[in-house]
Amino acid sequence: MTDTPRPRPLRVLAAMSGGVDSAVAAARAVEAGHDVTGVHLALSANPQSFRTGARGCCTIEDSRDARRAADVIGIPFYVWDLAERFREDVVEDFVAEYEAGRTPNPCLRCNEKIKFAALLDKALALGFDAVCTGHYATVVVNEDGSRELHRASDMAKDQSYVLGVLDERQLAHAMFPLGDTLTTKEEIRAEAERRDLAVAKKPDSHDICFIADGDTQGFLASRLGGKAEGDILDEEGAKLGTHDGAFGFTIGQRKGLRIGHPAPDGKPRYVLDISPVNNTVTVGPAEALDVTSLTAIRPRWCGTVPAAPGTYTAQLRAHGGETEVHAELVDGELRVSFQQPVRGVAPGQAIVLYDGTRVVGSATIATTSRRAATQATA
């Protein structure tokens, strides 16, 4: 029923970031009897020598850590230069999305366009059967051979959200050795230690790998030109202050508004809307963040396309909780209504639909509605 062990050994390409998860994943693939080759993706045209802080996955040091792990595991190791593809498909997309007032998730984009597209295609062409990563998610093979993507056994580590963009074909060649077992991060580290992998104690990477210092606003400012001053408005359109560029804001953001004077009701104000065309940012009270329905585009299904409207659980952020939704597909667009209003939903983010632990599919949020949903709950 589960992904491993398999009846026959596969030729597996293990994507190794230089971190502990992907190293243990590669080691487990070897242990499962597969013929494994490690590959580190060079995603930055000008890699920094060393990590700054605990984040990032594009440094020379990470590449060396990955190579060292591959040597200990005893598998061939290569570095593939996908910097150009990464720049085009992930970084430029990230910048363009922010510029358009949306909040993209580059990790999903990377899985869809790089790890399970550029990398997978090259791997298949070179005779590999599967790409293995250190993601915490589970692939279930049905008796008819079809595949399902499920949440990891350990819900706390589950990363199925960022894999929700994978379609059936991509899934057919994906291997996630860490998702099948109920393992905590501490146990993975202990396992790495047991396997003599020097990355056992390496800090987790987080945030956005191509923004090494973690300063997303600074990165966007450098990419989208200098400061473009615009207005901060309230819900009625009255000017409350100014900002240095609409792209620097995220819906639901509270800090850094610098409005200076309190709202009439004395409650904190949050970013409700970003309009890059007018370069305005609209703020209002927390209640105004309540989203009751949304539409989402570019749906991708991890299996058969759901024919009829249905009830699912949805996840709206990488580490967000689940919420009950009703969803239907209308003219290729996903219409979703929430049983309970949710906050902090921004266009550009991905909504991933689940049926129990099974990933049904994902789509990119296009519009949100803050009033009671009507047409979406047909």
Partner 1 sequence: MAYLDHAATTPMLPEAVEAMTAQLTVTGNASSLHAAGRRARRTVEESREAFADSLGARPSEVVFTAGGTEADNLAVKGLYWARRAEDPRRTRVLASPVEHHAVLDAVDWLATHEGARVEYLAVDAYGRVDPETLRTAIGRAPDEVALATVMWANNEIGTVMPVRELADVAAEFGVPLHADAVQAYGQLEVDFAASGLAAMTVSGHKIGGPYGIGALLLGRSHAPVPVLHGGGQERHVRSGTLDVPAIASFAVAGVLAAERREDFARTVGGLRDDLVEAVRDAVPDAILGGDPDPGGRLPANAHFTFPGCEGDSLLLLLDAQGIECSTGSACTAGVAQPSHVLLATGTPPDLARGTLRFTLGHTSTAADVDAVAAAIGPAVERARTAGLS
Residues recognised as catalytic = 110, 209
**Interface with partner 1 by CB under 8 A: which range of 114-122, 227-235, 255-263, 363-371?**
114-122
How far is Cα 181 from Cα 159, in angstroms, rounded to an integer?
A: 14
**Interface with partner 1 by CB under 8 A: which range of 125-133, 156-164, 170-178, 290-298?**
125-133
DSSP state at residue 112: I
Question: Considering the rule CB under 8 A, would residue 82 count as an interface residue with partner 1?
Answer: yes
Whichever of 38 and 303 has its CB closer to partner 1, that residue is 38
How far is Cα 314 from Cα 295, in angstroms, rounded to an integer?
A: 13
Place of tokens 């473009």: 228
Question: Considering the rule CB under 8 A, would residue 132 count as an interface residue with partner 1?
Answer: no
3-state class of 284 per DSSP?
A: strand
Give backbone dihedrals phi and psi of 51, rounded to 5 degrees, phi first: -60, 140
Question: Considering the rule CB under 8 A, would residue 320 count as an interface residue with partner 1?
Answer: no
3-state class of 276 per DSSP?
A: coil
Least distance from partner 1 to the Cβ atom of residue 47, Å = 5
Quick one: which of 28, 34, 40, 335 contacts partner 1 (CB under 8 A)? Answer: 40
Question: Considering the rule CB under 8 A, would residue 126 count as an interface residue with partner 1?
Answer: yes
Quick one: which of 2, 80, 221, 343 contacts partner 1 (CB under 8 A)? Answer: 80
Quick one: which of 53, 76, 262, 268 contacts partner 1 (CB under 8 A)? Answer: 76
**Interface with partner 1 by CB under 8 A: which range of 78-86, 282-290, 314-322, 344-352?**
78-86
Least distance from partner 1 to the Cβ atom of residue 32, Å = 19
Question: Considering the rule CB under 8 A, would residue 343 count as an interface residue with partner 1?
Answer: no
Element (H, E) at 163: helix 160-163
Q: How many helices (H) and strands (E) does the chain have?
A: 10, 17
**Scanning residues 44 to 63, which ones bind partner 1 (CB under 8 A)?**
47, 60, 63
For the chain, the residue count is: 378
How far is Cα 126 from Cα 130, in angstroms, rounded to an integer?
A: 11
Question: Considering the rule CB under 8 A, would residue 74 count as an interface residue with partner 1?
Answer: no
Least distance from partner 1 to the Cβ atom of residue 276, Å = 33
Question: Considering the rule CB under 8 A, would residue 221 count as an interface residue with partner 1?
Answer: no
**Interface with partner 1 by CB under 8 A: which range of 40-48, 173-181, 284-292, 323-331?**
40-48
- Residues placed in the known binding site: 15-22, 41, 134
Q: Are 141 and 100 in contact (CB under 8 A)?
A: no
Whichever of 126 and 378 has its CB closer to partner 1, that residue is 126
Whichever of 61 and 322 has its CB closer to partner 1, that residue is 61
Q: How far is CA 238 from CA 232, 242, 333, 370, in A?
A: 8, 12, 34, 20
- Residues placed in the known binding site for ATP: 15-22, 41, 134
Whichever of 82 and 365 has its CB closer to partner 1, that residue is 82
Residues 6+ apart with CB under 8 A from 54: 203, 204, 205, 206
Backbone CA torsion sign across 69, 72, 73, 75: positive
Element (H, E) at 353: strand 350-355
3-state class of 2 per DSSP?
A: strand
Q: Are 272 and 251 in contact (CB under 8 A)?
A: yes
Least distance from partner 1 to the Cβ atom of residue 83, Å = 8
Question: Considering the rule CB under 8 A, would residue 81 count as an interface residue with partner 1?
Answer: yes
Rg, C-alpha atoms of the chain: 22
Whichever of 59 and 183 has its CB closer to partner 1, that residue is 59
Question: Considering the rule CB under 8 A, would residue 117 count as an interface residue with partner 1?
Answer: no
Element (H, E) at 63: helix 60-73
**Interface with partner 1 by CB under 8 A: which range of 105-113, 122-130, 161-169, 284-292?**
122-130
Show the tokens assigned to 290. 């309540």
Q: Which residues bind partner 1 (CB under 8 A)?
A: 37, 40, 42, 47, 60, 63, 67, 76, 78-83, 85, 118, 121-122, 125-127
